[in-house]
Amino acid sequence: MTTSITIPYIKSLGKDRNAINLDLLINLYNDPNLSLELKREIISSIGRQNDKVRVAEFIKKNFKNSLNTMDMVYQFYRTCLYNLESNTDFKEISLDIEDYFKNEIIYKMKYFYNFKKNKNKFIQTKSEIFEPTLLVGNCLETLEKVKEKSVKLIFTSPPYYNAREYSVYKSYQEYLDKMKEVLKKCHNVLEDGRFIIINVSPVITKRPGREFESIRYPIHFDFHKILSETGFEFVDEIIWLKPEYSVPNRNGGYAQTQKPLSYKPNCVTESIMVYRKKSSFLLDENIKAYKDFSPIFTESFDRTNCWLISPRSSKDHPAIFPKELCEKIIHYYSFPGDLVLDPFGGSGTFGDVAKEMNRIPLLCEMHPSYVKHILKKGYKSISS
Ligand X SMILES: C[S@@+](CC[C@H](N)C(=O)[O-])C[C@H]1O[C@@H](n2cnc3c(N)ncnc32)[C@H](O)[C@@H]1O
Q: Which residues bind ligand X (CB under 6 A)?
A: 138-140, 157, 159, 166, 317, 319-321, 344, 346-347, 349, 364-367, 370
Strands of the 190-200 sheet, one edge to the other: 306-308, 232-241, 269-277, 190-200, 151-156, 339-342, 360-365, 133-136, 380-383
Size (the chain), residues = 384
Contact 188, 148 (CB under 8 A): yes
With respect to ligand X, which residue has the nearer C-beta, 9 or 166?
166
**Residue 202 beta carbon to ligand X: minimum distance, rounded to whole angstroms:** 14
With respect to ligand X, which residue has the nearer C-beta, 138 or 381?
138
Q: How many CB atoms lie within 10 A of CB 245?
A: 9
Contact 31, 65 (CB under 8 A): no
Q: Which residue is nearest to ligand X (CB)?
A: 346
With respect to ligand X, which residue has the nearer C-beta, 56 or 197?
197
**Residue 228 beta carbon to ligand X: minimum distance, rounded to whole angstroms:** 21
**Residue 188 beta carbon to ligand X: minimum distance, rounded to whole angstroms:** 15
With respect to ligand X, which residue has the nearer C-beta, 13 or 197?
197
**Residue 367 beta carbon to ligand X: minimum distance, rounded to whole angstroms:** 4
Alpha-carbon distances, residue 379 vs 95, 98, 114, 374 (angstroms)? 52, 49, 40, 7
| Surface-to-core class of residue 297, CB atoms within 10 Å of its CB (0-12 exposed, 13-18 middle, 19+ buried) | exposed
With respect to ligand X, which residue has the nearer C-beta, 80 or 341?
341
30 Cβ partners below 8 Å, 6+ apart?
none
Cα separation, 49 vs 19, in Å, equals 8
Cα separation, 198 vs 321, in Å, equals 12
With respect to ligand X, which residue has the nearer C-beta, 156 or 280?
156
With respect to ligand X, which residue has the nearer C-beta, 321 or 335?
321
With respect to ligand X, which residue has the nearer C-beta, 76 or 155?
155
| Nearest C-alpha neighbor of 293 from the set 263, 330, 336 | 336
| Surface-to-core class of residue 141, CB atoms within 10 Å of its CB (0-12 exposed, 13-18 middle, 19+ buried) | middle
Quick one: CA dihedral 139, 142, 144, 147, positive or negative? negative
**Residue 41 beta carbon to ligand X: minimum distance, rounded to whole angstroms:** 51
Cα separation, 197 vs 331, in Å, equals 13
**Residue 344 beta carbon to ligand X: minimum distance, rounded to whole angstroms:** 3
**Residue 174 beta carbon to ligand X: minimum distance, rounded to whole angstroms:** 13
With respect to ligand X, which residue has the nearer C-beta, 43 or 366?
366
**Residue 318 beta carbon to ligand X: minimum distance, rounded to whole angstroms:** 8
With respect to ligand X, which residue has the nearer C-beta, 267 or 320?
320
**Residue 107 beta carbon to ligand X: minimum distance, rounded to whole angstroms:** 32
**Residue 326 beta carbon to ligand X: minimum distance, rounded to whole angstroms:** 8
Alpha-carbon distances, residue 166 vs 158, 163, 247, 258, 367 (angstroms)? 11, 8, 21, 36, 8
